[in-house]
Structure 1
Amino acid sequence: MTAIVENEKTTPVKEPDAGVFVTLREAPVAVRALLLGGFISRLAAFIQIYLVLFLTDRGFSATQAGLALGVYGGGAVAGSLVGGSLSDRLGARTVTLVSMAGSAALIVSILYAPTYALLLAAVFAVSAVGQFYRPAAQTMITELTPKHRLVMITAMYRLGLNLGMTAAPLIGAALLTVSYNALFWGEAFAALAFGAIAMFALPRGGVRARKEAAAAAGPEPRGRSGYLAVLADWRYSVYLLAMLLTSAVYCQYTATLPLDIAAAGISLWWYGAAVSLNGFIVITCELAMTKVVQKWPIRLTALLGLGLVSVGYAIYAISPLPIWFMIGTLVWTLSEIIGGPTVFAYPAMAGPERLRGRYIGAMQSVFGLGTAIGPVIGTLVWFQVGRSVWLWAALVSAVATVAGLIGMHTPDRAEESRHAAAPAAGTEE
């Protein structure tokens, strides 16, 4: 099936269907390189998984290990913000090289930090610098991808991240049979591999081309700049609120759900089954679902993508029986495969090109913040109100859905025309 668009002379033109294989085949080399690099970065993301075990093995207390993990999360939030700003200033290629080379060196430094304070500093720096590349990668993907392909490419990018995250614990466990040194050096070499891909496959000239395009379009509006300009966009600020609330609720399956299942006297096998169900459906079905969903209006996708999280967690509240845990998980997993690619691709379409990296960085940092504070808040609420926590989660998610509907809008035709010309901005001059 094909989509019908109109050109400037109102002559109907058939636009090729943005299917999985067609999209991947027609994607520029740089985009495919970023898809591969994202997969590699997650495939070797060992530190966050094994940091607590590493520190306790080195003689630190469980409290010190937990604090270090929290510092790692804080570094990820800060890194997204800095990465977004650097992407607008330096370009995606330069930022990716800095991110991968810097994180490779910093990863190894954790092994040799002489004091706990320096170790915490190294952990924060590793997380922050390693996060720089994510806004930069999404910015370049947006610049090089036609608008009607962007949601599908984002789904492919997410698939690579999910596949890498699924395999990383197993690869890390294998390296641990050798030593913790092998684990850390393995992640460092993976970062260098991504850096090498960026050096040879990503184009130069993107920043200069964007500046020339902006100069041709006229002077920039006076007033706020940087992240203040992002926050001045009231619609986007509402969208950011939606992302914060959604991520804080969504991550309850990693914190509150196992507590609730154990308290109900149900085998934790059911928890493992629920998490596995989520991973299996996302990995096997998201691309196929995206082929259909990418043609929907943005607000419809947001309604289902955000609203089904509320419905899924409300189902948990019905009864502490395995059947309801599985059905609830299935429902909020549908929200992920329906809305995930569109919701995560949206920041690149929401703002002006000169702030694209910051728009992306703001979303990624807010989402990371929600993921960091969500488990803490969720478990505290569960200890206070018990199973009613799921009703509170559903309510918060419903508020997030309304915020998403208000904050997300379809870009106007002028913006789409500018985006359609964007691939030229990423080419080497």
Structure 2
Amino acid sequence: MTDVATAGPSDTRQAGVLATFAESPFAVKAVLFGVLVNKLGSFIQVFLVLFMTSRGFSDVQGGVALGVYGAGSVLGVLLGGTFTDRIGARRTILLGMVGTAVLLVAVLHVRMYPALLASVGLAGLISQVYRPAAAAFIAQLIPKNRQVMISAMYRLALNVGTTAAPLLGTMLVAVSYDLLFYGEAAAALGYALIVLLALPREGSAPAKPERAAASASAAPVAPATERPAGGYLAVLRDRRYVAYLVAMLLNAAVYIQYLSTLPLAVRDAGFSTFWYGVMVAINGAVVICFELLMTKVVQNWRVRTVLTVGFCLLGAGMALYTLPGGLAVFVVGTLLWTLAEIIEGPTMFAYPAIAAPPAASGRYLGAAHAMFGIGSAIGPAAGVALWSGLGRTAWLIIGAVSVLALIPAWFAVGRVGTTSSLADSSG
């Protein structure tokens, strides 16, 4: 990743919410809809521990299975990045969704614990290979000045699905745990069918809009021979991008505290689990209702400005939990880091596709998703350990980590301007 010049794309119209969606290619809309369908059926990770205990396994064995599923998910996005660059996004998504359906049904028929762990890990792996493929496909067909807005739409599909899935899963569990697996398999196959019917075959997709005149007809994608070898070593040789990955890992480790340390803090402050649920509901409602509107504003900020404001607000929201003040402190702190999420989220996840060399976008996106996943995995353990040893003071350290993450982030983005003014990067 080199310093990026600030030549604008051919499409310089305002990247509004409705205009971006209406003028996006049909294939992009199909991918977004497919992501929503798939996430609406994402039940297993939420209910895996309960499923394991219903089969007679211990709580610890269920927790280990959930950890194996998470580890498989991290490996899955890395594998998905490689597949995207080598066989194309369409084939990668189809492979991931069909493989997910097959493995989920297979899990139901495995009884031995070691075999069950292996099946769960493989299901976690194959279920996530679509993520860098979908993101890379969308990035390929959307002008640079609309990358952040389309990233916000992609996140909206994920967030709506993630919010609704546990409610749908609860209804299925009331009938049978088996329905969870069949339901998620059906959602995966639904996504595969959408991709099969709506996405062009590799070699017939249109080129990036900013590389063509506004009235130009569709051109073939770059042939496979232009894809550089080297796997993820090509990503690791990009020092700026490695710094960006470090920043993403630290950001994720701080952000994920709302699922691990925050419930402990609410409980130890003498409040019931209901009030923790209120904090999570506040976050979900604000993100779903306001992220697109916020993105319309911040997409024209410099990348450094977006990251600075976002990382600082995230740190401030977490650090605020240190103060006494009861529920008011929890509510205000939650609103602060939620504001950070809707400011930084779309830009942070759009930037890898913008910064990547065209032939390595899958690996760049796969590395970004993997690092966010690793941060989300190690963050809870670190946060709970700090909370157990330091109590409320732990929130100050957690907040400071978010601010310190700006050091690698600033080095990574260098002199890059706004995401709506970026020209193509070169490796």
| TM-score normalised per structure 1 | 0.90
Give the Cα separation in 1 of the matches to 2:169 and 2:362. Answer: 32
Identity percentage of aligned residues: 48
* Structure 2 residue runs without a partner (length 5+): 1-5, 206-219
| 2:36 and 2:158 in contact (8 A); partners too | yes
Amino acid at match of 1:318: L
Q: CA RMSD in A?
A: 2.2
5 Å-filtered alignment, 1:51-90, equals: 51-90=48-87
Higher RCO (CA-CA < 8 Å; seq separation 6+): 2
5 Å-filtered alignment, 1:262-281, equals: 262-281=267-286
5 Å-filtered alignment, 1:354-369, equals: 354-369=359-374
Corresponding position of 1:427: none
Aligned partner (choices 296, 309, 312) of residue 301 of structure 2 = 296
* Structure 1 residue runs without a partner (length 5+): 420-429
5 Å-filtered alignment, 1:3-152, equals: 15-152=12-149
Q: Which moved more, 1:178-187 or 1:85-94?
A: 178-187
Instruction: Find out whether 1:398 has 2:403 as its counterpart.
Output: yes
Instruction: Find out whether 1:338 has 2:343 as its counterpart.
Output: yes
Q: How many residues align?
A: 404
Q: Give the CA deviation at 1:93.
A: 0.2
Give the Cα separation in 2 of the matches to 1:320 and 1:42. Answer: 37
Q: Give the CA deviation at 1:212.
A: 4.2
Q: Give the CA deviation at 1:269.
A: 2.9
Q: Give the CA deviation at 1:14.
A: 8.4
Instruction: Find out whether 1:247 has 2:244 as its counterpart.
Output: no
Amino acid at match of 2:171: A
Q: Give the CA deviation at 1:266.
A: 2.4
5 Å-filtered alignment, 1:230-241, equals: 230-241=235-246
Give the Cα separation in 1 of the matches to 2:145 and 2:131. Answer: 21
Once the two structures are superposed, residues 40-90 of structure 1 have per-residue CA deviations (whole angstroms, 9 ceiling, x without a partner) of: 111110000000000001000011000000001000100011000110001
Amino acid at match of 2:339: L
Instruction: Find out whether 1:325 has 2:330 as its counterpart.
Output: yes
Q: Give the CA deviation at 1:350.
A: 1.2
Give the Cα separation in 1 of the matches to 2:203 and 2:313. Answer: 38
| TM-score normalised per structure 2 | 0.90
| 1:103 and 1:191 in contact (8 A); partners too | yes
| 1:89 and 1:207 in contact (8 A); partners too | no
Aligned partner (choices 195, 198, 202) of residue 198 of structure 1 = 195
5 Å-filtered alignment, 1:148-163, equals: 148-163=145-160
Corresponding position of 1:176: 173
| 1:103 and 1:129 in contact (8 A); partners too | yes
Amino acid at match of 2:95: V
Structure with more helix by fraction: 1
| 1:350 and 1:411 in contact (8 A); partners too | no
Amino acid at match of 2:97: M
Amino acid at match of 2:93: T
Q: Compared with structure 1, are the counterparts of its residues 323 and 171 closer, same or farther at alpha carbon in structure 2 (3 Å cutoff)?
A: same
Aligned partner (choices 366, 377, 380) of residue 375 of structure 1 = 380
Q: Give the CA deviation at 1:259.
A: 0.6
| 2:300 and 2:418 in contact (8 A); partners too | no
Corresponding position of 1:422: none
For residue 172 of structure 2, give the secondary structure of its aligned residue in structure 1: helix
Give the Cα separation in 2 of the matches to 1:133 and 1:14. Answer: 28
Give the Cα separation in 2 of the matches to 1:62 and 1:205. Answer: 45
Give the Cα separation in 1 of the matches to 2:171 and 2:11. Answer: 51
| 1:88 and 1:207 in contact (8 A); partners too | no
For residue 111 of structure 2, give the secondary structure of its aligned residue in structure 1: coil
| 2:8 and 2:423 in contact (8 A); partners too | no
For residue 194 of structure 2, give the secondary structure of its aligned residue in structure 1: helix
